[in-house]
Chains A and B, each alone.
Chain A
Amino acid sequence: MKLLGYLKKEVTTNIYRFTDPSNPERFALSPKVVKNRYEITDLLSSTSGFGLVFIAKDTKLLNKKVLVKAINYKKAFNKNSLDAKEKILLRRKNLKLESQILLKLNTLNVPCLPLFIDYIEGYSPSIQWPDGNVGVGSPAFDDLAMNEPYFILQYIKGQTLSEKAEKQDKSALSWQIEVLKIAQRVLNILDVFHGGDEKVESYIYQDLKPENIICSPNGTYTLIDFGGVALNMHDKSTTYNKGIGTPGYMAPEIADPSIKKIDKTADIYSLGVLIWSLLMKEELIKYVDENGIIKNFSLNTIEDYVFEPVCQIIKKAVQPDPKARYKNASQMYGKITSALQKLNSINYVFKEDVIA
């Protein structure tokens, strides 16, 4: 995983300030040590909407590398506004929920997820110094500063799928085969997600995209970031946490506020777009409208070099009408298995030709 390249500066004996060298307005504060155990070393990811992910050393386990997920308060609240405290508390509730969802998914033995290691509450400099200028001006919300939630995750070695895809020849048959195999891995995960448990009818990942999949050197793929997971509770007509997604990858019903309940086919849609984007030579963003939804979807972008069974899978998965998509992960998995058999036989003939 590439680091953001933020500059780390010690601003007090217990606070770091990470600043984007190209834009000093982009910054993040962190405690140097979380709960006397996890020493922050770098900023790995910073999405303005949701979270900060730091790399840290677990000092209790001989400096084992871990990830620390924290709340990104950038522009989330104004310290003078009346509802600032409510906004802070809501963000905290969401982070806690994310940690509980990950723990639940670990308990359900969902394959290829990072392990939840710990949930702790500790000091947050971002609450006291929301403008980032530590020591300048009066601090805000001293009473909230000491019980900021953090959760600790397994560090996964590897690169994101988007980093991996950049280096590939999109028209190569071997890459098409690999993309289908990756899709099968993701479907294995989604299958368990969608099955839910005794309390939750189904978990919907919602935010499937290449940046959220880590490819490790030993060939495993890990799904990361659970801040966007939506919950369909038994006997409820609305989906909790609906509406989180990335432009281009999110299904139309996720972006449509008039639709209150989404189902597992929202993830099928995102996976279809993910396969398409991994095989397309152009940028996906060219096909995204102002609402963040794919406009003018066309297989013309890939059908010159992508084999027909793969095109058909993408086409079926990205249907705007959820009922027209694959019904569930196992149905799509079956279609991909058939496509892989065809592609492997073509690959075999190619290899034989080369040898001959």
Chain B
Amino acid sequence: MITYPVTNDILWKELREESQEIRGSFFEKKILKCEEKFKSEKFIGYTLPNKMFNGQKEFLEQTNKIFYPLINAMNKINSTMLPELIDVFVCSEGEIKKLMLVMEYIKGYTLKEAVNHYKSYKKQSADFPTTLNISKFSKFLKKLTDFSEDLLNEGYFHLGLYPSHFILPKSDVIRLTGLRFIMKTEGFIVNDPRIKSLKNEMKYSFMPPELYTKIYKESNNSINAIAVLAYQIGILILWGYYQEDLGIYRIADNQIDLSDEIFDIVPYNKKRKVSDAVWALLDPDPDIRLNTLQEIRECLDSIE
């Protein structure tokens, strides 16, 4: 166990072995405990990895650029679907003093892990249903729509609505991580300059073409958050059926090939409704794609 220098009355300790089991593409994450205050409860500490900067000055600049907008956004959004902020403190790693943000550790499987477990059960038992229950899944997607509306009302949007960011605790509640993907919006347009920092971090298959162009080709097009939501919901529906990356169906400029073949996996009685919905949600042109929350909800109603 590493004991961090005390900068407040909460003495956090790292559970090093458990820390090694958690991954994150951007933050360095640590599992923390404080037996004096929280007994056996675990928390998760977010810090920036050393490789991101040279020396203390640059670290502080990076911290200000990354942590403070994140804390501000989480305070303003105040959603029960996001993890709760608990504490922030300074710890030393070598010669560098680093800021550690302590957050609630959400217990449960990610949607991706849950599906992998499901797949392994499916292999063991012939009784397991072999295809997605689209009615249940569309209810889940409606909750995501509600969550996104809640965020948009506060001037934010979560650009990373994909399976590894959804955590399913014991109940039917969904929690979300991937906090770096929360961006500022104005009038439903994502206007956060940090959007370009998501290069190499966003999953290709969940990026609508206009977002791909914005991030990778540095275009000045405006990004309509609701059109991105529609696109990510469309991809989630396909992901729900395939339960894996849709790489083979990706064509130029990050578009998905929506020919009949991709819908072969959908049971016959649902095929027409699901394909109509997915076409409307995944149109490569954001102006033609569904781009109001009402349209998205009606679309999800149609497949329920």
Which A positions have Cβ atoms within 8 angstroms of B? 35, 37, 60-65, 103-104, 106-107, 109-112, 115-120, 154-157, 185, 188-189, 192, 216-220, 222
Q: Point out the residue from A61, A111, A155 that lies within 8 Å of B173, measured CB to CB.
A: A111
When distances are taken between beta carbons in the complex, the residues of chain B under 8 Å from A185 are 171
**Is B171 a contact of A111 with CB atoms below 8 Å?**
yes
**What is the CA–CA distance of A119 and B8 in the complex, to the nearest angstrom?**
14
**What is the CA–CA distance of A35 and B81 in the complex, to the nearest angstrom?**
29
**What is the CA–CA distance of A20 and B44 in the complex, to the nearest angstrom?**
41
A109-B169, A220-B80 known; A103-B75 Cβ under 8 A: no
**What is the CA–CA distance of A110 and B173 in the complex, to the nearest angstrom?**
11
A106-B41, A117-B84, A157-B78 known; A62-B150 Cβ under 8 A: no
Min distance, Cβ B133 to any Cβ of chain A, angstroms? 15
**What is the CA–CA distance of A189 and B173 in the complex, to the nearest angstrom?**
11
Q: Point out the residue from A62, A110, A189, A192 that lies within 8 Å of B71, measured CB to CB.
A: A62
When distances are taken between beta carbons in the complex, the residues of chain B under 8 Å from A220 are 80-81, 173
Q: Is B170 an interface residue (CB 8 A)?
A: yes
When distances are taken between beta carbons in the complex, the residues of chain B under 8 Å from A118 are 10, 37, 86
A155-B78, A188-B171 known; A60-B87 Cβ under 8 A: yes
Q: Is B65 an interface residue (CB 8 A)?
A: no
**What is the CA–CA distance of A65 and B104 in the complex, to the nearest angstrom?**
15
Q: Point out the residue from A60, A61, A103, A216 that lies within 8 Å of B39, measured CB to CB.
A: A103
Q: Is B117 an interface residue (CB 8 A)?
A: no
Q: Is B40 an interface residue (CB 8 A)?
A: yes
**What is the CA–CA distance of A42 and B127 in the complex, to the nearest angstrom?**
56
On chain B, the number of residues with a Cβ less than 8 Å from chain A's Cβ atoms is: 35
19 A-B pairs, CB-CB below 8 angstroms? A60-B87, A61-B85, A62-B68, A64-B71, A65-B75, A65-B78, A103-B39, A111-B170, A111-B171, A115-B104, A117-B84, A117-B86, A120-B9, A156-B80, A157-B78, A216-B79, A218-B147, A218-B150, A220-B81
When distances are taken between beta carbons in the complex, the residues of chain A under 8 Å from B272 are none
**Is A218 a contact of B146 with CB atoms below 8 Å?**
yes
Can you name the residue of chain B whose Cβ is closest to the Cβ of A154?
B84
**Is B79 a contact of A62 with CB atoms below 8 Å?**
no
**Is A157 a contact of B79 with CB atoms below 8 Å?**
yes
**What is the CA–CA distance of A120 and B38 in the complex, to the nearest angstrom?**
12
**Is A112 a contact of B173 with CB atoms below 8 Å?**
yes
Can you name the residue of chain B whose Cβ is closest to the Cβ of A222?
B80
Q: Is B261 an interface residue (CB 8 A)?
A: no
Which B positions have Cβ atoms within 8 angstroms of A? 8-10, 37-41, 68, 71-72, 74-75, 78-81, 84-88, 104, 107-108, 143, 146-147, 150, 153, 169-173
When distances are taken between beta carbons in the complex, the residues of chain B under 8 Å from A217 are 146, 150, 153
When distances are taken between beta carbons in the complex, the residues of chain A under 8 Å from B9 are 35, 120
In this complex, the member of B71, B75, B88 whose beta carbon has the largest number of chain A beta carbons within 10 angstroms is B75
**Is B81 a contact of A218 with CB atoms below 8 Å?**
yes
Min distance, Cβ A216 to any Cβ of chain B, angstroms? 5
When distances are taken between beta carbons in the complex, the residues of chain B under 8 Å from A64 are 71, 74-75, 85
**What is the CA–CA distance of A82 and B180 in the complex, to the nearest angstrom?**
58
When distances are taken between beta carbons in the complex, the residues of chain B under 8 Å from A112 are 80, 171, 173
Can you name the residue of chain A whose Cβ is closest to the Cβ of B8?
A60
**Is B107 a contact of A109 with CB atoms below 8 Å?**
yes
**Is A107 a contact of B39 with CB atoms below 8 Å?**
yes
**What is the CA–CA distance of A188 and B171 in the complex, to the nearest angstrom?**
7
When distances are taken between beta carbons in the complex, the residues of chain B under 8 Å from A103 are 38-39, 41
**What is the CA–CA distance of A147 and B150 in the complex, to the nearest angstrom?**
40
Can you name the residue of chain B whose Cβ is closest to the Cβ of A216?
B80
**What is the CA–CA distance of A188 and B173 in the complex, to the nearest angstrom?**
11
Min distance, Cβ B33 to any Cβ of chain A, angstroms? 11
Min distance, Cβ B172 to any Cβ of chain A, angstroms? 7
Min distance, Cβ A156 to any Cβ of chain B, angstroms? 6
A61-B71, A155-B78, A157-B78 known; A107-B40 Cβ under 8 A: yes
**What is the CA–CA distance of A137 and B38 in the complex, to the nearest angstrom?**
40
When distances are taken between beta carbons in the complex, the residues of chain A under 8 Å from B169 are 109, 111
Extra 4 A-B pairs, beta carbons < 8 Å, given A61-B71, A156-B80, A218-B150: A62-B68, A64-B71, A110-B170, A111-B170
**What is the CA–CA distance of A220 and B9 in the complex, to the nearest angstrom?**
33
Min distance, Cβ A69 to any Cβ of chain B, angstroms? 15
Min distance, Cβ B77 to any Cβ of chain A, angstroms? 9
Min distance, Cβ A157 to any Cβ of chain B, angstroms? 5
When distances are taken between beta carbons in the complex, the residues of chain B under 8 Å from A62 are 68, 71-72, 75
Min distance, Cβ A119 to any Cβ of chain B, angstroms? 6
**What is the CA–CA distance of A312 and B67 in the complex, to the nearest angstrom?**
53
**Is A63 a contact of B75 with CB atoms below 8 Å?**
yes
**What is the CA–CA distance of A117 and B9 in the complex, to the nearest angstrom?**
13
Min distance, Cβ A115 to any Cβ of chain B, angstroms? 5
Can you name the residue of chain B whose Cβ is closest to the Cβ of A118?
B37
**What is the CA–CA distance of A218 and B81 in the complex, to the nearest angstrom?**
8
Q: Point out the residue from B87, B107, B143 that lies within 8 Å of A219, measured CB to CB.
A: B143
The 8 closest A-B pairs by CB, nearest first: A111-B171, A64-B75, A188-B171, A157-B78, A115-B84, A109-B107, A220-B80, A218-B150
